[in-house]
Amino acid sequence: MITYALGGSSTEIFDPAVGAGAFFRAAKTVISIQQREIKLLGMELDPESRQQALDTGLSVGDLREVEFRDFLLNPPTRVFDAIVANPPYIRHHRLSQETKSYLKHFGTKLIGKSLDGRAGYHVYFFLRALQVLSKQGRLAFIMPADVCEGVFANTLWRWVLDNYRLDAVITFAPEATPFPGVDTNAIVFMLRNDKPRTTFTWAKCLSPNDAKLSAWVDSNFQNSGIGIHANSRTIKEALETGLSRPPSNGVPHGAVLGDFAFAVRGIATGANEFFFLTQARARELCIPTEWLISAVGRTRDVPGEWITPDTIGDLKASGRPTLLLSLDGTPQATLPEPLRQYVKHGEELGLDKRSLISSRNPWYKMEVRTTPPFLFAYLGRRNARFIRNLAGVVPLTGFLCLYPRRTELDFIEKLWNVLRDPETISNLALVGKSYGAGAIKVEPRALERLPLPESVLRRWGLDWNPTPEQLNLIGA
Ligand SMILES: C[S@@+](CC[C@H](N)C(=O)[O-])C[C@H]1O[C@@H](n2cnc3c(N)ncnc32)[C@H](O)[C@@H]1O
């Protein structure tokens, strides 16, 4: 990142979130190799990080130009030729209402459109940095993949790529991650404040090798060689596919899963420890069986592609919960005695005051799902997968429920074959959000956008009846 940012003729480098100073240390190394004089400039919110920076080898002199102030609220009044940062990664639900509305206002003013409220702090940090990048200046930021995969991503990148030149996007295979053990898919973005171009370099690092990566950046992204897979991509295709994802032939406009099925998240109990019971616990509490339904909680509880009565039997035998207390709106007073007692116990534990639960009336009333023929394990370490539900269970929030739009058995079986097809599974990367160690998360609406390749539909004999809008898109 330093190699890129200093690739121009800058005589200084600015880090708006200095922290313990990893970039300053890297800059010193690069400067000494290149025998250049570079001024280290920075900002940092937390004064305590100064000591960490000193402890990790920087000198008082190196930190002389670091200002301890808020880069977002109180930005510099000048511009910089080289900016580099690992911005604070704070997701939207951890921001105060006040901060959120400040950021929204700032973003709207800058890009002329408001970004969806799910954009995190780092997104605005990035925008603020672009704002203080001088003409021809270079910026390198490392950020989580959500900046390319969140609902706000398209608005954000359309503006960025209309106004700046994207030189490179560098992604990392799980084995090469710059942050081992952190549940984030980190991506490096290298941009210039210059006229946008129609293409850029997109790379994937396959092994952790700083020197090789640095030399490649230094060669102006030319000699990638072993360990770095690089492609030239058009901005247009990358915007459609998503900058975090490998190149595709654009998003296919053919059939999507939503044409054949719809997805709903699994049941959120609000207190699994109370509502999701083992067989022994349900027996101990004398809960009448008509209030209990068979359920699965953790994705780990379903190791394969099928849930059969045997799967549930194994879970019971190993003492895992499999029974969901599924109460309806029956008033407490008319519930059978053991249930009345248990509900009272829940109130003693203060469950009725919990945020999700307190919105229900009565508080113990459980969400209802029809048994889905398919489940989808939506957050997995490289194994997001579809599951055939042959045990009549309902899932909790570790899974999505997938309901075919038609009920004939023949249709369901054909759809099952399509869902299991490796080509279908590989398309999950086109709609999912990526996390550390290759994990991918797919939410209900995104799952419905999953492209189903025509060849796969043909292979399994599933007929597709495009809507007039789809016919238009495929030019039929
Ligand atoms: C991910 S860390 C940066 C790590 C740094 N590159 C290093 O080597 O340690 C983000 C840093 O941003 C700082 N920070 C958070 N909000 C900030 C703000 N509004 N302005 C400036 N710095 C901020 C945090 O205190 C933290 O040190």
CA 121 to chain centre: 15
Of 60 and 304, the one with more pLDDT: 60
Mean pLDDT of all residues in 446-464: 92
Question: pLDDT digit string (tens) for 250-281?
Answer: 555 689 999 999 999 999 999 999 999 999 99
272-276, 323-327, 467-471: which range is least confident on average? 467-471
Atom of ligand 1 nearest to the CA of 88: 10
- Output the pLDDT for position 451: 92
Q: How far is the CA of 50 from the centre of ligand 1 (A)?
A: 11
C-alpha 448/C-alpha 442 separation (Å) is: 10
Contacts of 47 (CB under 8 A, 6+ apart): 68
Structure token digits, residue 165: 């030149």
Q: How far is the CA of 49 from the centre of ligand 1 (A)?
A: 9
- Output the pLDDT for position 252: 59
Q: How far is the CA of 42 from the centre of ligand 1 (A)?
A: 10
Coil/strand/helix, residue 15: strand
Contacts of 195 (CB under 8 A, 6+ apart): 165
Q: Do 266 and 398 contact (CB within 8 A), yes or no?
A: yes
Q: Which of 1, 40, 71 to mutate to test ligand 1, by most ligand atoms within 8 A of the CB atom?
A: 71
- Output the pLDDT for position 195: 97
Q: How far is the CA of 164 from the centre of ligand 1 (A)?
A: 24
Write down the CATH superfamily of domain 2-241. Vaccinia Virus protein VP39 (3.40.50.150)
- Output the pLDDT for position 470: 65
- Output the pLDDT for position 435: 85
Q: How far is the CA of 71 from the centre of ligand 1 (A)?
A: 9
385-389 and 199-205 as β-strands: parallel, antiparallel, unpaired? unpaired
Q: Which of 14, 18, 68 to mutate to test ligand 1, by most ligand atoms within 8 A of the CB atom?
A: 18
Atom of ligand 1 nearest to the CA of 52: 9
218-232, 350-364, 375-389, 411-425: which range is least confident on average? 375-389
Q: Which of 45, 50, 91, 103 to mutate to test ligand 1, by most ligand atoms within 8 A of the CB atom?
A: 45
Eight-class DSSP state of 451: B
Q: Which of 46, 63, 67, 184 to mutate to test ligand 1, by most ligand atoms within 8 A of the CB atom?
A: 46
Contacts of 379 (CB under 8 A, 6+ apart): 299, 398, 435, 439, 440, 441
Does residue 425 surpass a pLDDT of 70?
A: yes
- What is the model's pTM? 0.79
Nearest CA to ligand 1 atom 19: 70
Q: How far is the CA of 288 from the centre of ligand 1 (A)?
A: 55
Short-list 334, 336, 358, CA closest to 346: 358
Structure token digits, residue 168: 């490179």
Atom of ligand 1 nearest to the CA of 19: 27
Mean pLDDT of all residues in 88-115: 92
Q: For the chain, what percent of residues have pLDDT higher than 70?
A: 97
Helical spans, DSSP H, in 173-270: 210-218, 235-241
Highest mean pLDDT among 105-109, 247-251, 381-385: 105-109
Does residue 452 surpass a pLDDT of 90?
A: yes
pLDDT band with cut points at 50, 70 and 90 for residue 211: confident
Nearest CA to ligand 1 atom 17: 45
Q: How far is the CA of 145 from the centre of ligand 1 (A)?
A: 18
Of 399 and 210, the one with more pLDDT: 399
- Mean per-residue pLDDT of the chain: 93
**CATH code of the region 259-326+366-473:** 3.90.220
Q: How far is the CA of 413 from the centre of ligand 1 (A)?
A: 52
Does residue 17 surpass a pLDDT of 80?
A: yes
Angle CA(172)–CA(107)–CA(82) in degrees, nearest 5?
A: 55
Does residue 36 surpass a pLDDT of 70?
A: yes
Q: Do 117 and 104 contact (CB within 8 A), yes or no?
A: yes
Q: Which residues line ligand 1 (CB under 6 A)?
A: 16-17, 19-23, 43-46, 49, 70-72, 86, 88
- Output the pLDDT for position 440: 83
Q: How far is the CA of 39 from the centre of ligand 1 (A)?
A: 19
Provide CATH 3.90.220 ranges for the chain: 259-326+366-473
- Output the pLDDT for position 434: 87
- Output the pLDDT for position 27: 96
- Output the pLDDT for position 317: 96
Q: Which of 52, 54, 73, 86 to mutate to test ligand 1, by most ligand atoms within 8 A of the CB atom?
A: 86
pLDDT band with cut points at 50, 70 and 90 for residue 203: very high
- Output the pLDDT for position 256: 93
Atom of ligand 1 nearest to the CA of 72: 19
Structure token digits, residue 111: 């890009």
Atom of ligand 1 nearest to the CA of 15: 6
Question: pLDDT digit string (tens) for 363-408?
Answer: 999 999 999 999 999 776 557 899 999 999 999 999 999 999 999 9
Nearest CA to ligand 1 atom 18: 70
165-172 and 199-205 as β-strands: parallel, antiparallel, unpaired? parallel
Q: How far is the CA of 7 from the centre of ligand 1 (A)?
A: 24
- Output the pLDDT for position 249: 65
Q: How far is the CA of 17 from the centre of ligand 1 (A)?
A: 4
Of 470 and 124, the one with more pLDDT: 124
Phi-psi region of 2 (alpha: psi -120 to 50; beta: other; left: phi over 0): alpha
Eight-class DSSP state of 327: B
C-alpha 346/C-alpha 290 separation (Å) is: 20
216-220, 344-348, 467-471: which range is least confident on average? 467-471
- Output the pLDDT for position 192: 98
Nearest CA to ligand 1 atom 1: 88
Q: How far is the CA of 441 from the centre of ligand 1 (A)?
A: 27
Nearest CA to ligand 1 atom 27: 19
Coil/strand/helix, residue 464: coil
Q: How far is the CA of 45 from the centre of ligand 1 (A)?
A: 7
